[in-house]
Structure 1
Amino acid sequence: MLWAFAGVASLTGSLLGDGWGNVPTWVALLVAVVGGLALGEAAGFLQWYFTRYVIDTAEVRVERGILTKTSRRMPFERIQSVDIAEPLLARAFGLAELRIDMAGGDDAGTTLRFLTLEEARATRRLLLDRAHGREHDASVRHDVQGDLVAEASPAQVLLGTLVSLDFVIAVLGGVGLLVASLVAGQVVVFLGGVVAVGTWLIQIVGQRVIRQWGFTLHRTPDGLRIERGLLSRTSQTIPFARVQGVAVHEPFVWRRLGWSRLDVDVAGYAKAGGDDATATSSTLLPIADREVTARVLETLVPGAFSAEPDVQAPSRAWPVDPVAWRFRRVGSNEQGFTAREGWVERRTSVVPHHKVQSVEVRQGPLGRRLGLATVEIHTPDGPVDADGKNLDAETARSVALAELDLARTARRGA
């Protein structure tokens, strides 16, 4: 729709410039808006009208196209997850998107636009039943809600945002800019700064609160199901088998309040996210008490957080890590490899041994001189970083060899 609007607006401006100068500006703008909306809606309608999908006993087939026809076949055994998104405009008409994600990379899935919300839920249930080899009962039209694991109230999300590090930095930076402009007597700069800083802060708060509004996390037979969103609503399922690692974030103020955020590495979600309120998210818990976070962690990686990481970076790492070296620790137990770092915002990352793809010991020129090395635990791209940075070189090699043995053993038993 945006490209259609831009095209009509450009054409209208061109025509006005070529001889329609007596037409009022508001008329030209009205023509551009109405024309752009009409063209965009027509394009969307044609795309929807020429899209067909067929679900048989072995696969789901999606066919679309007006001049050029495309047909995409998705075998049930390759379907990883099926999510429902309700963008704002579609939600107003009771419509939703069905997002089918498959094994095979970032572009392996497809999206069905638009179905009624009831039809989207019934289709998701059918696809998940077929994908997991379950008997499908067509008389049951609703989703399996599952057991409630966690929820985050809008008030808690708002308070957590107001005391988060990036919000505090934005406030302090904005206040500093405004004070400097007043001292310099730049009233125009001051007013412009008020608008810019205010818009920035509202965007930080609004985006997080609106996106995570009404957040709930349920445990279902297909995985953990997230539902969130005020204006645009999303129902996203994270299969247990696709979780490659987890990361617990504890900002400074949050630690005093007993709060944390939980992110997950999910296979196929490397490029997820963005500004779209319905985009796939790697945030499993936007904010939660420690007890709730621990319960979810035990569900995903049982026993992995039972032992504290006990290998610390040596004090001679201070030339390359003046402050952070004190807070860098790694360790492992029978379930996974753990790395912890950070003081202002403490982050604890855990990767199950059977999800480790490879292990590398990296040492630069300065590291060789100081006897330091970094252990890199390779996993799919995502928010989890379980590297052991600036460890003693011999210790790093021992940690890497031990992790390779643990990963090899875990993969055999997986």
Structure 2
Amino acid sequence: MNRLHPLSAVTLALQHGATGFSVPVLLVGLGSSVLDVDTGPLLALVPIGLVAGVGYGIAYYYRFTYEVTASTFDVSSGVFSRRSREIPYRRVQNVDISQGLFQRVVGLAVVSIETAGGGDTEATLRFVSEDEAERVRSEIRRLTAATGERTADPESDRPASNESIPSTDEPTAPERTREDRSRGDAAPTLLFDLETRELLLYAVTSFRWGAAVFPIAILVFLGGADSGSGLVPAFVVDAARPFGGPATLEGAAVGPLLVLAAVTAVQWSLFTYVSSAIYTVANYHGFRLGRAGEDFVYERGLVQRYSGSIPAEKVQSVTVTENPLQRLVGYAGLWVETAGYGPDSGGGSQSAVPMAKRDRVYRFAENLTGAESPDFRSPPTLARRRYLGRYAIVAAVIVAVAFGLAQVSTFDRWYLTAIVFLAVPPAAYLKYANLGYVVGDEHLVIRSGFWKRRTTVIPYYRIQTVATRRSVFQRRLGLASLAVDTASSRTFAWGSPTIYDIDLETAREIHDTGRERLQSALRERARTDDLGLSVDFT
């Protein structure tokens, strides 16, 4: 059995020691300021908590062991409650290595092992040496490939997944034997290298709402300075004053406060955009994607360095993403989903190509999935009428809100907000024009979205469920939406691929076609892999 790096004991001791120290200090502070009680006896718990925390961290280090066996990756941990895990290699989806700035200086790394069944990390080695991290990842990759070879037809040269590894414009290494691939000891073949120009273009054409936490943190840190409020910093009030904002928040009228809110929203958006660009550069600096045997390998990051592997046979679906700015300059991104990771799940290995020329990305996606350039079918024109009604209702709500504000403030030109009705027809058209789907022989391709257009390619044998959804308005129009789910980890911002607002009969036909082609694909894979699969389609 192997242990973590000795410096891990120091890190755990400091981490748990700080926790044991801070809890009594917090209780002392609450007792003296809020409860107004004598907290003298609690002060004695401060050194006790510190010592107990340090002792727990050291004990956790000595109780944590791991081992790479022939069939499983074993991890044992826990001080008071012992936990032992045996992770079969066939369930391993991704093996990632991450290094913060301090870890890179001292030569340490964190190894994260993801399995099918969710985005949570199944096992984490925090910390091991860089050489040990590479050894663990290489061994798991080698044994995962060997497991895949045992499930494949011995007379077939195809991998167990029946998926092809993409070719690119870059030179490729000579073909290797099955033994070479299973060993995983050959140097990776470079597939994609994110250039500085592409990285900067990616930063300025993308917007991450998660970066909004940074300007909010600035507001909390700087709040209260000569602004009349402990929540709003002075520079926010000063920026709104030339546009009719209040001189101070105390006793301010509704009209100036509305101006302040509008100016603050603009400032917040600009700060978020800049924070998003900085995050993108730091997160994807030095991005490289390669191929090693039947795995994709990647590395990226400026301050926090990430590297990992994505088994090709674990890929659930592939999605090409484009926002309006990226479409304007002819660029797009490519995201790969496995049963352990989904886009924006925070795992780190989901982006195969952050940003590249649009034709190159689509060619890469075609080589990866085997799906040819799709000829999309659009929903019926009745769907566009539905979007006209939907956006007209939104515009009416905006005008009604403006009218209501005019009744309680000095804002008397509420009728100017009726200009939003001019945006209703183009909004409905753009919503409709960016919808499409293709029911292919081996893949289902779904496109949707204007601000974030996504084109997802899903092999039939990766489909888990297909659900027909009908709202009240869709039932009145005879329409339905078809949601296609795979085993990847979805997030709130990135839901299941959905074919929106098609005829109910068409939805039923696609559902039946998907059922038949899923069963055909599974029977073919069962014959190839001799696994005896029998899976129902829901």
TM-score (norm 1): 0.79
Match of 1:242?
A: 314
Of 142, 145, 158, which residue of structure 2 is paired with 1:132?
145
Match of 1:391?
A: 502
Distance 1:399 1:55, change over 3 A: closer
Q: C-alpha displacement at 1:56, in angstroms?
A: 3.4
Residues 272-287 of structure 1 aligned to structure 2 (within 5 Å):
273-274=345-346, 279-287=347-355
Match of 2:158?
A: none
Distance 1:272 1:145, change over 3 A: farther
Q: C-alpha displacement at 1:35, in angstroms?
A: 12
Match of 2:484?
A: 377
Distance 1:220 1:365, change over 3 A: same
- Asked if residue 365 in structure 1 is aligned to residue 472 in structure 2, the reply is yes
Match of 1:68?
A: 81
Query: Comparing 147-156 with 247-256, which one deviates more in the overlay?
Result: 147-156
- Asked if residue 315 in structure 1 is aligned to residue 375 in structure 2, the reply is no
Q: C-alpha displacement at 1:396, in angstroms?
A: 2.2
Aligned residues: 386
Q: State the distance in 1 between where 2:114 and 2:451 align.
A: 37
Amino acid at match of 1:306: S
Q: C-alpha displacement at 1:198, in angstroms?
A: 5.9
Alignment RMSD, CA only? Answer: 3.8
Amino acid at match of 1:125: S
Match of 2:432?
A: 325
- Asked if residue 347 in structure 1 is aligned to residue 440 in structure 2, the reply is no
Match of 1:225?
A: 297
Distance 1:51 1:345, change over 3 A: closer
Q: Is the 8 A contact 2:21 2:50 kept in 1?
A: no
- For structure 2, which runs of at least 5 residues remain unmatched after alignment? 1-13, 33-46, 150-177, 213-235, 250-259, 389-427, 526-538
Q: C-alpha displacement at 1:365, in angstroms?
A: 2.9
Match of 1:266?
A: 338
Q: State the distance in 2 between where 1:121 and 1:35 align.
A: 39
Distance 1:94 1:165, change over 3 A: closer
Distance 1:402 1:88, change over 3 A: same
Amino acid at match of 2:131: E
Report Cα offsets for 1:327-378 as digits up to 9, x if no partner: 3111122231111123344321111111122333333332222121112222
Q: Is the 8 A contact 2:115 2:122 kept in 1?
A: yes
Larger Rg: 2
Indicate the structure with greater helix content. 2
Query: Comparing 319-328 with 347-356, which one deviates more in the overlay?
Result: 319-328
Q: State the distance in 1 between where 2:20 and 2:328 align.
A: 53
Q: State the distance in 2 between where 1:90 and 1:73 align.
A: 28
Q: Is the 8 A contact 2:16 2:57 kept in 1?
A: no
Report Cα offsets for 1:2-35 as digits up to 9, x if no partner: 775465345446658989xxxxxxxxxxxxxx99
Of 255, 260, 281, which residue of structure 1 is paired with 2:327?
255
Match of 1:182?
A: 242
Query: Comparing 68-77 with 178-187, which one deviates more in the overlay?
Result: 178-187
Secondary structure (helix, strand or coil) at the match of 2:86 reads strand
Match of 1:413?
A: 524
Q: Is the 8 A contact 2:384 2:432 kept in 1?
A: yes
Q: C-alpha displacement at 1:252, in angstroms?
A: 1.2
Q: C-alpha displacement at 1:242, in angstroms?
A: 1.5
Q: State the distance in 2 between where 1:17 and 1:363 align.
A: 53
Q: Is the 8 A contact 2:298 2:349 kept in 1?
A: no
Of 98, 102, 109, which residue of structure 2 is paired with 1:85?
98
Match of 2:420?
A: none
Indicate the structure with greater strand content. 1
Secondary structure (helix, strand or coil) at the match of 1:132 reads helix
Match of 1:289?
A: 357
Once the two structures are aligned, what percentage of the paired residues are identical?
27
Match of 2:283?
A: 211
Query: Comparing 103-112 with 219-228, which one deviates more in the overlay?
Result: 103-112
Amino acid at match of 1:397: R
Match of 1:102?
A: 115
Query: Comparing 325-334 with 40-49, which one deviates more in the overlay?
Result: 40-49
Q: State the distance in 2 between where 1:393 and 1:11 align.
A: 63
Q: Is the 8 A contact 2:111 2:126 kept in 1?
A: yes
Higher relative contact order (CA 8 A, sep 6+): 2
Distance 1:333 1:177, change over 3 A: farther
